[in-house]
């Protein structure tokens, strides 16, 4: 008896994997859903990939899902005078609202909502978690930190605050524009990045109105505190 596979395989499409011949090979290898990463690329590029997926779907006579992954609120540091610095464990480093180029001691983090939510002891993860810092002191315009895990830090790298509930919508203006485009295009799934609370999912559901399934990505500990409600409001949970 053939065993029915319950787990689904999602593959992210990029320039090297978007040719119709390659798409067909990937599908035949077992992929169920293709992910379009809206953190990168122009709408025209995503449209071309979407049409190629649908052409392969029609040729093979089997359903293929298309998931659009929204970027979500991306918090980034400013720039450095030398473009990149090297930080070591134990170093002291400061984030502030000053837009002048940074150095080994400080850099701009022009997000007042971050300082409003920070508390001593909170962790900051930079450059997709490669660096970690702990907040020692903070006010409404700056935060002094100790480097826990060091490494290189360069211009406009992302900052994640896993311990902090940020007072912001999970849908940025870019996300809303991308979402309208994706829904008009006909995507099957919409992935929400950095979901923190049930209201984040409810906000997206009002916009989507049943035109696509909602995938809530659990990337922050705060989401676990509201897990039952987030699960109830979501169609799929991604960990």
* CATH number of the domain to which 124 belongs: 2.40.33.10
Strand 65-69 and strand 33-37: pairing?
parallel
Q: Write down the pLDDT at residue 4.
A: 63
The runs of H, that is alpha helices, within 61-172 are: 112-117
| Contact indicator for 95, 157 with CB cutoff of 8 Å | no
In-domain check, residue 2 = no
pLDDT(18) > 60: yes
Give the separation between CA 104 and CA 123, rounded to whole angstroms: 19
pLDDT(47) > 60: yes
| Predicted model pTM | 0.85
For the chain, how many helices (H) and strands (E)? 7, 15
Give the separation between CA 100 and CA 109, rounded to whole angstroms: 11
Q: Write down the pLDDT at residue 5.
A: 62
Give the separation between CA 119 and CA 117, rounded to whole angstroms: 7
- Is there a single domain that holds both residue 50 and residue 106? no
- Is there a single domain that holds both residue 36 and residue 101? no
Percent of the chain with pLDDT over 70: 98
In-domain check, residue 5 = no
Note the pLDDT tens digit of each residue in 119-147. 999 999 999 999 999 999 999 999 999 99
Give the separation between CA 3 and CA 16, rounded to whole angstroms: 32
Domain count across the chain: 2
- Domain of 97 in residue numbering reads as 75-160
């Amino acid at each position: 008896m053939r065993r029915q596979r319950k787990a689904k395989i999602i593959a992210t499409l990029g320039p090297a994997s978007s040719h119709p011949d390659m798409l067909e090979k990937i599908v035949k290898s077992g992929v169920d859903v293709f992910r379009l990463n809206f953190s990168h690329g122009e709408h025209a590029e995503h449209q071309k990939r979407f049409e190629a997926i649908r052409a392969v779907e029609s040729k093979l006579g089997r359903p293929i899902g298309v998931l659009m992954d929204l970027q979500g609120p991306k918090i980034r540091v400013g720039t450095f005078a030398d473009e990149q610095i090297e930080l070591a464990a134990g170093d002291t480093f400061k984030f502030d609202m000053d837009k002048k180029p940074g150095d080994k001691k400080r850099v701009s983090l022009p997000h007042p909502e971050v300082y409003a939510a920070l508390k001593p002891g909170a962790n900051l993860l930079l450059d997709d978690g490669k660096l970690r810092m702990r907040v020692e002191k903070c006010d409404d315009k700056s935060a002094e930190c100790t480097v826990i895990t060091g490494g290189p830090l360069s211009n406009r790298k992302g900052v994640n605050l896993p311990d902090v509930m940020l007072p912001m919508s999970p849908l940025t203006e870019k996300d809303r524009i991308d979402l309208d485009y994706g829904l008009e295009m006909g995507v099957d799934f919409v992935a929400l990045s950095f979901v923190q609370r049930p209201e984040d999912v409810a906000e997206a559901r009002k916009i989507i109105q049943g035109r696509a399934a909602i995938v809530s990505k659990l990337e922050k500990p705060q989401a676990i505190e509201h897990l039952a409600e987030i699960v109830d409001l979501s169609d799929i949970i991604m960990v």
